[in-house]
Amino acid sequence: MKKIDLLKKLYDQEISLDEAKDIYNKIMDYDNTQMKDLLCLSDVEFTALGGPYVDFDILAKWRYEGWPNKCIKCKEEIVVEKFGWVIKKTEQGKPVLCHVKCLKND
């Protein structure tokens, strides 16, 4: 399979969310490094996909419009490139970031 910038194509509306999922599913048998490379994903983006609360459309929006940068619990800054965060969902279903350390205080 050749490389495809999945998030860019989705953000630019060149493909649908269902098409993005189909492309992703076709390469599920590749190892993580190959998958990340084939889909042109950063380490942060690929890590975010590992959780249950974010889909490609949200990730595409975050890439081009900016990632959340505040913890939903403590309201302190999150630097996504430094990791130490997880994606949670609000009661309204919106994906947000939370420090791992803040989860321990629940």
> Looking up tokens 């595409």, which residue turns up?
60
Do you know the residue count of the chain? 106
Position 19 scores a pLDDT of 95
**pLDDT band, very low/low/confident/very high, at 80 (cuts 50, 70, 90):** very high
Q: What is the pLDDT of residue 22?
A: 92
How far apart are alpha carbons 89 and 37 in whole angstroms? 28
| DSSP-derived secondary structure for 11-59 | HTTSS-HHHHHHHHHHTTTS-HHHHHHHTT--HHHHHHHTSSS--HHHH
Phi, psi of 98 (to 5 degrees): -140, 135
The residue with tokens 């942060």 is 44
Task: Tell me the pLDDT band of 71, cut-offs 50, 70 and 90.
Answer: very high
What's the pTM value of the predicted model, to 2 decimals?
0.85
pLDDT tens per residue, range 20-32: 999 988 888 877 7
What digits encode the pLDDT tens for the residues 14-65?
Answer: 999 999 999 988 888 877 788 899 999 999 999 898 777 788 999 999 999 9
| The pLDDT of residue 105 | 58
